[in-house]
Structure 1
Amino acid sequence: MSIPGPQNEIETLFSIGLSQHQAGNLQAAEECYRRVIAVNPLHPDALHFLGLLHYQCGQQDHALKLMDMSLSLSPDVPAYHSNRGNVLKQLNRLEEAAAAYRAAIRLQPGNAMAFSNLGNTLSALGQHDAALAAYETAVEISPGHADAHINRSLLLLDLGRLAEAEDAIVTALRLQPDNAVAHTNHALILMARKRPQEAVEACDTALRLRPDLAEAHSNRGNALFDLNRPDQALTAYEDALRLQPGFADAHRNRARVLKAQGRTADALAAYDALLEVSPEDVQTHCNRGAALAELGRPDEALTAFATALSLQPDCAEAYSNRGFTLMDLGRVPEAVRAYRAATALRPEMAEARFNLSMALLLLGDFKAGWAEYDWRWTSRGWSGGAPRHQDLPAWTGDAAQGRTLLAWAEQGLGDTLQFARYVPVLTAQGWQVVLEVQPALLPLLSALNGPDVQVIATDTARPAADVQCPLLSLPGRLGTVEASIPAPLSLPVPPPADRTSPRPEAGDPPVRRIGIVWQGNPRHHNDRNRSVPLSRFLPLARLPGVSLVSLQKGFGAEQLQDIPDDIRIEDTGADYETGGFTETASLLRGLDLVITVDTAMAHLAGTLGVPVWVLLPAMPDWRWLTDRDDSPWYPSMRLLRQPAPGDWDSVFLRLGQSLTAAGG
């Protein structure tokens, strides 16, 4: 192509370049623009549109230089300022971008596109009111400006103004019913409005219009997950990632679903894939660390949390997760410091404060621990359900003054047995007490009934009361420290049934009947660490003078069918299986010793004063404290702890040695 000489031929060449540009023939357009500039280096339009071409090719710095040159030659062209704003926004120079759009608006007050782009920039700057005003001006100037309605709807969604957001996106869809992006954004709003089925339908519409729209696949996955269709959700995320492998939200949400399914190793791989795309995503480093901790890789988990904190030193969640992992490692004082860092950054972070309470209680710092323990009710890690009896005022520790207090069971059977000891303390202070307990404990704890106490089951009508307090909040309200822990309840128990024990041979030591419990409820959050197989106890059955008695009910009792023929473990039978806690208490009275993992049986034996040895994991529940083999809660109890996580071998070796030393 030869270079025209006269001015009109230069303009013709520029027009050809512009036509090629509009047709998407960027290489031909660039050649035309450059030929124009070769003849006239100060041709503002050629400079500007060559800059626009570079912008479209992702060469933002070069684009900005060319646009600045064109503006120096023709400062009064609104489009020059508006396009320059687009480049600056792409470079994340948002304040400068907003100034460029405002310059375009000053030159052309009716420029709806400039107002819409200004709204986008102000929204990114967090100037929400100003952004909304810009969008509203854009749609006043041009009611058919669909992009302005769409962007306004997204900002309203972010602000939680959901009804207005939906009105805006519906307006956009009326203007452009075939706009797949608008349908996809509509799905986001429908999700926020708790209408996931409609969100799926909106995504399906978007995908009929544009099957390659990754955002629609991803949003569809979110809606399907909310509809409890996780496998279909995963398929939707995988479709999104096939179309756009670097789609961070799809990676993130896929990991969320995998984690919710308990597929922690797969979730970890998804977090790793997300970090390939977004290596500085702080939340992903936190989530990855939590997954590593759950997979038993605590040192790697701590490294992940450290990375998160290096990227965001004020990340409360990273400190909280670090505390949880340190607890698993038995580094409790360090965990306390991590939890305190988290709560200093976010005082309302319930999970960190609840976990802090348990760490403090484990260390024996009862005063500080009880003060934080009420945060359990709003913690994500709390599995005890919602508080009950909230129609009554909460008791805060004030004097009785002739009133009635409802003390109610909130956690497991063992917790109720442990903390029912506070009923006599309350009556001694002048309270009338209504004690609400699980039905299974009602026959046993009905012994507390009297002039000042009424014991009821949770499934019965509630007598009148003035205030209420959950059982495990009583120690805090009463200011309990280790030295002031009340004695266990004194409960009348029927005498044990006459049971025949094996007759010892002449010269053998007397037979000691030892009750054993090896399995807790598998639904307990820590059961995998606290329970053991029955096979662990079998060597004890061969010790001289030892007769083992199964106290196992329900879960785990089936293991009795698999013991070797030469091992005898007394099975208490169907009557014990169906009997309540009173029958169990009677049976315990006839035993010489109870050996149990951390279950309600430990509390029942301790309450009755029966000698009981409790086998504890390396990181026990807070009530067992640390570094001691006795319990301030139960004088008849001995604690045998794992020296390291998972080391039951050492525990049972010590157990066998202790039984042998005691004479079998």
Structure 2
Amino acid sequence: MKRRLAFTLSCVALAVLAGCGDRQREQVVEALPPTPDLSDARPALVRQISTAEEAVHKAKQPLEGYALLTKTYHANGFLSETIQGYAFLQEAEPDNPHWPHLLAFIIAGYGDLEAALPLWDRVVELAPDYLPARIRRADALLKLNRLEEAEAAYRAVLEHDAENPYASVGLARLAIADDDYPQARKLLLDAASNSHNRIGVDLLVTVFEHLGEDDKARYLRRQAKAGGTFTDIPDPWLNQLMDLCVDPYQLVSAGGFAAFSGDNERGIELMQRALRFEPDNALAHFQLGDMYRDTGQTDKALAEYRRARELKPEFADPWLREIELLRSSENSTAAADDLLFKALDAAPQSPALYQQLGQYHTRRGNLEAASSAYRDAIAIRPNEPEAYIQLANIFLRQGRIDAAQQTLEQALEAEPGNPFALSTLAMIAISRQDRAEADRYLQAVHQQPRTPANLVEKLHANYRNTFGQEP
């Protein structure tokens, strides 16, 4: 493949376009790649390609049509045609940093990092403030084991953006290569803190394990699995291609990434575009509902959740989101309760729905029914702590302290270090005046930064009142 790439690049490396009019158009037309087989393509894509080709032949600015055609190919996965197009555009517009950047991204994707690096060097020269290019260049240097150059490149990013999490992760990888795990830990914690725990978490799990911090590693692994992680770099020049994409899968993925990066407006645009091409995509409706919810558009969110569950009734998440939104409205509690029972009929394997059922029975004082619901949730997914904690709270309300303690210990088996299980066990030990146990659990609570400060203060106050001194 590398030989083919090199051949393609050399074949289309034309002289810089000069002049205008018919001669310029002839040069652009001559550089057009053959139209690929579109027999299985969506009609929208066929129209886009046809429109761009026509612009090359007839529009006043044929190069604009050529650029549109090339980006359309890129957005829809026709990479051979894309490579030919970007190489020509780079020669035709040598001061435009977009073309070497987009071309380098594709070439790096084929594994030819040595060929991609000079292109990113050119981008940095033309657009020194465009950090995605700097980060991708640094990552390429790291993969090529050019470690000193990679470190300098990552530090150059931090000079532009001192809290850039991707540069911190890159430096953490270099620290690991030097077997400096404490430094890697610090850098990765910075990356996580500067990205709302989204960037560097997977690598931080490995570092915690290496340093013997197994409880933290298990917690982070579980959080990453539950919430998902995005590892790619926000790259506006690349992401703009999605305006030309007709593949719903790619559009849903890009929309989710935009929302993850904090741009819900862009996420909504891309999710709506995906639904234009695939109106019955339940996941797209669900994610669009989340974006509407996060931007305060409750009615639109509810409509999307309803559509998602209509399309895929066994998909529990839209039911849960709709129930939560209805329950947050003062006048919709009864509607939320009715919807819960419909949801359980449609998605009976959802532990979260059984936890909702447990809360429903608890509000009505039916603690035995609530206990049964939480046990059902545990039976479906025994490796998650929430249902154990809720069941333990029922036992505490019933005065069944031993049962509560045993259940909370099961919660800690599911998630070692869970702050709410630890805090409740500490409270039980204090209430029993078991100072040794209280000290043991409080020490574990203090090692958990996730424990709310007001809860820690409450535990300290109870400890002082019971034992007459500070823990």
TM-score, with structure 1 as normaliser: 0.33
Bigger proportion of residues as helix: 2
Of the two structures, which has the highest relative contact order with CA contacts closer than 8 Å and spacing of 6 or more?
A: 2
TM-score by length of 2: 0.45
Q: Which has the higher strand share?
A: 1
- Structure with larger Rg: 1
